[in-house]
Amino acid sequence: VRMKTCSHYVNCNLHSKRVLKAITKERLSEARSGGVKLCIDLSMMQYMSTKETSRLAAQIRRLYGSNKKATNPFHLYLTDFSEDSLLYKECVRMNDGFLNYVMERTEENCLKIFPPECVIYLTPDSENALEYVDPEKVYILGGLVDESVQKSLTYEKAQEYQLCTARLPVEEYMVKKENAKNFHSQILAINQGNTVKQSALRDMHRLLKNSIDVVSCY
């Protein structure tokens, strides 16, 4: 009886995993046709060391993993992404199934794919706090793991091409919370507001906070 029970449990578990995988793939496919576009601009690879490039490959994996778990996933793009690049080789080496990721990969520059007037470049140096996510816009992140902290690279690029910029509203939504040890810690109270656009902003924050912790958006 115990063997039958264990076998039944394993079969149910495998079935559940297959169903979950199918649902996830369906959500990602739907995002490809109607999701908010979130693009990683990989045109700044020359500023990164080999170590930083490997870290970026790991963060792309985490970004994709977080997006898979999202109720309303983003339509992800990797632009300026050459198959001859070190980053491509690191992504394939470090990320199981990378070539099967449900996302767009292209060697083209993001500004050749998306009209500049539709672009919002996310950079921590912007004066504009992003208060909501507009589904008609394309949000671009600078794919830059920069341990040497070369400031303003993404902002200067956005300025050069006269792009609209924004930063995640960390300062605006940061509040102090007292914990059990009587210490005050800061948390991001971005869960305020229930509109669709505000919900998308929460999703974007969770996605980026859980995955790309050094890419230029904060």
CATH number, domain with residue 142: 3.40.1280.30
Task: Give per-residue pLDDT as tens, 156-165.
Answer: 999 999 999 9
Asked, for residue 165, whether it belongs to a domain, the answer is: yes
Report yes or no on 8 lying in a domain.
no
- Residue 37, helix vs strand vs coil: strand
Average pLDDT of every residue of the chain:
79
Read off the amino acid at residue 119: V
Number of folded domains that form the chain:
1
Among 124, 125, 110, CA closest to 161: 110
Q: Which domain holds residue 154?
A: 35-211
Is 206 a domain residue?
yes
Distance CA 67, CA 208 (A): 9
Residue 16 located in a structural domain: no
Torsional sign, CA 16, 22, 23, 28: positive
Looking at residue 18, its amino acid is R
pLDDT at 189 over 80: no
The amino acid at residue 12 is C
Task: Decide: helix, strand or coil at residue 218.
Answer: coil
Q: Is residue 81 part of a domain?
A: yes
pTM recorded for the entire structure: 0.77
